[in-house]
Structure 1
Amino acid sequence: MSSKKPVSKSGTSISRRQILKAAGIAGAVGAAGVLGSRSVGYAIAGNAPKIRLAWTEVAACHSPLGFGVAKGIYTKHNLDVELFYQGASGQTLIQALATGKADAGAGLIGDWLKPLEQGFDVKLFVGSHGGCQRLLASNASGITDIAGVKGKTIATYGIGAPPQVAFQVTLAKNGIDPETDVTWKAVPFDLVGETVNRGDADLAAHLDPWAYSIEKQFNFTKIADTQTGVYEGATCCVLGANGPFLDANRDAIRRLAEANIELHEYVAGHPDEVAAWYLDALKPAGLSLQDLEAVIGGLVSHNHPIGPELVAQIQRASEDLKLVKVLDPTTDPKAFAERITVNLLA
């Protein structure tokens, strides 16, 4: 998964104005960008800082990170990025940063906020994309919309897992009590779809690419996701940095944010390239190239807030998690969002 060790030939970094433009305007990086030019090569300067970046390699929405290493996008920004496989849950991401095994990491907002509320020393600094979770109903359930979910059983892979929390918010904002009006059923990660298909639950709440596979395999109906409805315009995954590492390497984290924005803008226009890399490098079981193109291409890759926009997104997410009793009722969402983010544009 490693690539040539890089640095931009120009040695320059993206300006704050460019970051704002990339964060707010779709398509800032196109086919003429660094990844679109196969002839461009990079070599890491001797002083390129190393960043150990935690990721979940099996998650389709994390595939741009591996693609970025393989294709030299981080090295263009004079960074020596080493990917650290932190496991498949937010808790293992937190552990990787807490134990110093990683310096920064990518994770769902729903996984970040509770540990940060409890005082974990991490600052969130840039978003990546929106939408990588789905709520799916079996045909046998007869459910065709959110209203029909009331009184039903929802299978997911863990009580308190991101899909449950995400769709608790969806239900609550649609007048359905997520604690008393539905039943949540925890089942093994790889049996969520099968549990619903055999009639032991009515709906499945899962992450992509597994949610996509379940929807396709069993011909389930998508009732909600985390990029439409109550999540319209919301980012779902963000990058965070270990506090001490950020303090000592602020410029490197700023360049990591620049690279993340540039990378996801490229992915938005070239999901086929990322899917081909993902299939070849990681060989995800049961997923074809067409499946991966659909999953990666379906993400809202233009949604990567930074600076004040990120604060607003974190405040929004904090209000949602207070609504479903994940965050403490005394937490002030605005003050909390300001405390746990860092403005790299300042």
Structure 2
Amino acid sequence: MPQSKSAGGRVSRRTLLKATGVAGLAASAGVLANQIYSPAVAGPAPKVRLAWTEVAACHSPLGFGVAKGFYAKHDLDVELFYQGASGQTLIQALATGKADVGAGLIGDWLKPLEQGFDVKLFVGSHGGCQRLLASKASGVTDIAGVKGKTIASYDVVSPPKVAFQVTLAKAGLDPENDVTWKVVPFDLVGEAVKRGDADIAAHLDPWAYSIEKKFDLVKIADTQTGVYEGHTCCVLGANGPFLKANKDALRRLAQANIEVHDYVADHPDELAKWYLDALKPAGLTLAELTEILGSFVLHNHPIGPPLVDQIRKTSEDLKLVKVLDPSTDPKAFAERVTVNLLA
């Protein structure tokens, strides 16, 4: 999504907020957080094991935050735990006690939480990081043109598949019967479109960005605009026992999470340099990483009542595509699976 640039080529905070329509949400989160959180206290820093997906572009602020001392500033000893590349492995990391807190897509959290998984969501991180990309040979240039086409993704319930099923449903299409979904290996989603085995790719960044450029694909939807305007994509959740024993530490973790995402939103070049040096993502240059990270909606990090509202919206979307049970009340569910650290 094109963004206006501030001096020095960086994406400005004001531009991001205007572009996504979440200025009020982000501002309220920051103001409320500053009112409620206390400064770092003396004494041993509490240990927090934070599960993340290290190669996911949208998780890079977490690693950057640890490396640059954002969490230590709030008297926290954060240890990153690589949980794998799926929502299932995130849930396993928390369920088996390998991590205390995890960062994940809302769409990955909600079904396990509906089934009683003992985790509470407590702060958002950013807006969307998924793309729906069509080959030029397919002739598809918008969502209406997707009808009758084949879409490649990497799992039968991959987050991009679920996300864009919502997009299709809200455009009046049947997300199961009006299109054909094709499961291919994670690294071959773009190749499937190139070979003509599929017309469209549904993928996550940075891989979605890479195949868009590599195969000259046309972006017809993403999870930042359209039906996802102003929606939060990823949130942090804490397992129940850790929350009960460490609520103050979680308040400070939430504050640090907000601060690091605000910082990298205004300094995507610094984040990209750290990402390139520390994680060495294959096939991506510093300029490309800066472009990817600079396009993210990194000021969209609701906490308290705004987070409940975001979970309610996503719950309604997941009911629409039959991921959540028909009997689930989105508002009551959102209130049950979140914790208000501002209370």
TM-score after normalising by structure 2: 0.89
Helix, strand or coil at the partner of 1:73: coil
Among 280, 283, 292, the alignment partner of 2:280 is 283
**Which amino acid counterpart does residue 277 of structure 1 have in structure 2?**
W
* Alignment check: 8 A CA contact 1:132 1:226 kept: yes
Q: Distance in 1 between matches of 2:272 and 2:128?
A: 17
In the other structure, the counterpart of 1:39 is: none
What is the percent sequence identity of the aligned residues?
81
Q: 1:294, CA displacement in angstroms? A: 1.0
Q: 1:23, CA displacement in angstroms? A: 5.9
Gapped runs of 5+ residues in structure 1?
Answer: 1-20, 30-42
In the other structure, the counterpart of 2:171 is: 174
Among 197, 200, 203, the alignment partner of 2:200 is 203
* Alignment check: 8 A CA contact 2:56 2:206 kept: yes
In the other structure, the counterpart of 2:146 is: 149
Among 129, 133, 146, the alignment partner of 1:132 is 129
In the other structure, the counterpart of 2:62 is: 65
Q: Does 1:192 align with 2:189?
A: yes
* Alignment check: 8 A CA contact 1:132 1:299 kept: yes
**Which amino acid counterpart does residue 189 of structure 2 have in structure 1?**
V
In the other structure, the counterpart of 2:161 is: 164
In the other structure, the counterpart of 2:330 is: 333
In the other structure, the counterpart of 1:10 is: none
Q: Distance in 2 between matches of 1:153 and 1:66?
A: 36
1:221-236 → structure 2 map (5 Å cutoff): 221-236=218-233
**Which amino acid counterpart does residue 227 of structure 2 have in structure 1?**
V
Among 44, 47, 59, the alignment partner of 1:47 is 44
Among 218, 243, 248, the alignment partner of 2:245 is 248
Q: Distance in 2 between matches of 1:112 and 1:297?
A: 26
* Alignment check: 8 A CA contact 2:133 2:201 kept: yes
Q: Can you list the C-alpha shifts for 1:38-60, whole angstroms capped at 9, x where unaligned?
A: xxxxx995421000000000000
Q: Can you list the C-alpha shifts for 1:217-249, whole angstroms capped at 9, x where unaligned?
A: 011000000000000000000000011100000
* Alignment check: 8 A CA contact 2:122 2:303 kept: yes
Q: Distance in 2 between matches of 1:108 and 1:218?
A: 26
Structure 1 pair 86–45 and aligned structure 2 pair: CA distance change class (3 A): farther
In the other structure, the counterpart of 2:8 is: none
In the other structure, the counterpart of 2:306 is: 309
* Alignment check: 8 A CA contact 1:27 1:265 kept: no
Q: Distance in 1 between matches of 2:272 and 2:69?
A: 17
Structure 1 pair 277–26 and aligned structure 2 pair: CA distance change class (3 A): farther
* Alignment check: 8 A CA contact 1:23 1:306 kept: no
In the other structure, the counterpart of 1:25 is: 27
Among 208, 217, 222, the alignment partner of 1:220 is 217
Task: Provide the alpha-carbon RMSD of the alignment.
Answer: 1.7
Among 246, 266, 270, the alignment partner of 1:269 is 266
In the other structure, the counterpart of 1:96 is: 93
* Alignment check: 8 A CA contact 2:29 2:303 kept: no
* Alignment check: 8 A CA contact 2:316 2:330 kept: yes
**Which amino acid counterpart does residue 242 of structure 1 have in structure 2?**
N
Q: 1:24, CA displacement in angstroms? A: 2.6
Helix, strand or coil at the partner of 1:320: helix
Q: Distance in 2 between matches of 1:152 and 1:217?
A: 21
Q: Does 1:121 align with 2:118?
A: yes
Helix, strand or coil at the partner of 2:71: helix
In the other structure, the counterpart of 2:37 is: none
**Which amino acid counterpart does residue 303 of structure 1 have in structure 2?**
N
Q: Distance in 1 between matches of 2:139 and 2:29?
A: 40
Q: 1:198, CA displacement in angstroms? A: 1.0
Helix, strand or coil at the partner of 2:168: helix
In the other structure, the counterpart of 2:76 is: 79
Gapped runs of 5+ residues in structure 2?
Answer: 1-22, 32-39
Q: Distance in 1 between matches of 2:277 and 2:265?
A: 20
Q: Distance in 2 between matches of 1:219 and 1:125?
A: 39
TM-score after normalising by structure 1: 0.88
Equivalenced residue count is 313
Helix, strand or coil at the partner of 1:163: helix
Provide runs of 4+ in structure 1 moved above 3 Å.
26-29, 43-46
* Alignment check: 8 A CA contact 2:29 2:301 kept: no
Helix, strand or coil at the partner of 1:83: strand
Helix, strand or coil at the partner of 1:25: helix
**Which amino acid counterpart does residue 237 of structure 2 have in structure 1?**
G
Q: Distance in 1 between matches of 2:72 and 2:41?
A: 6
Q: Distance in 2 between matches of 1:27 and 1:340?
A: 19
Helix, strand or coil at the partner of 1:193: helix
Q: Can you list the C-alpha shifts for 1:309-335, whole angstroms capped at 9, x where unaligned?
A: 000000000000000000000000000
Structure 1 pair 240–123 and aligned structure 2 pair: CA distance change class (3 A): same
